[in-house]
Copies of this chain bind each other. A is one copy, B any other.
Amino acid sequence: MAYEWDTFRHLFKRLEIPAKTTLLAEGKISRTMYFIEKGCLRTWVNNNGREITTQFFFEGDKVASIESFKTNQPSLYSIESLEPCILQTITQKDFENLFQHSPEIREEMQEHLFRRLIQSQKRFFSFLKNTPQQRYQELIQEHPEIIRRVPQHYIASYLGITSVSLSRIRNRR
């Protein structure tokens, strides 16, 4: 966890979970923020019974349905573990308190939000500009850790295609 957060260690609770554990279900309101110490999470949306993975998270990442966490609106997506995980958790209430009393953390969260906007935009542009095949090659270049650690059918939906199509792309040439 980053420097500024260390002062508030006492507000965090350690949580150990097995793989495939749901931390937040789509439609529920996010009341907890998670910091990944070890393991890997994903966010996903339900589309007519099919799961579409929207993001992967690894060690050092902080994860919450920020929109829900901040506004108390139902979350647009679920959060789930892909591997056994060790997490540090903080409640919405404690976080709000911390947020009010630490300008540094407030500042950091704004930066975080801004980075997410840019990230989200880049990923979106990749969908507008590139074919699934190009997006897959881009993913290999920029996030090889995802290829290594995550089962392919999750990656397929993350790329906006079926697992069959991803298998074809991988074995093309």
Contact = CB atoms under 8 A, between A and B. Distances in A.
Contacts of A113: 113-114, 117
How many copies are assembled?
A: 2
Interface stretch (A30-38, A97-105, A124-132): A124-132
Interface in A109-146: 110, 113-114, 116-118, 120-125, 127-129
Contacts of A116: 117
Interface string A45-78: 1010000101000000000000100100000100
A160 interface: yes
A73 to B, nearest CB: 9
16 contacts: A45-B125, A52-B129, A54-B124, A67-B117, A76-B122, A113-B113, A113-B114, A113-B117, A117-B117, A120-B121, A123-B124, A124-B124, A127-B127, A127-B160, A128-B157, A128-B160
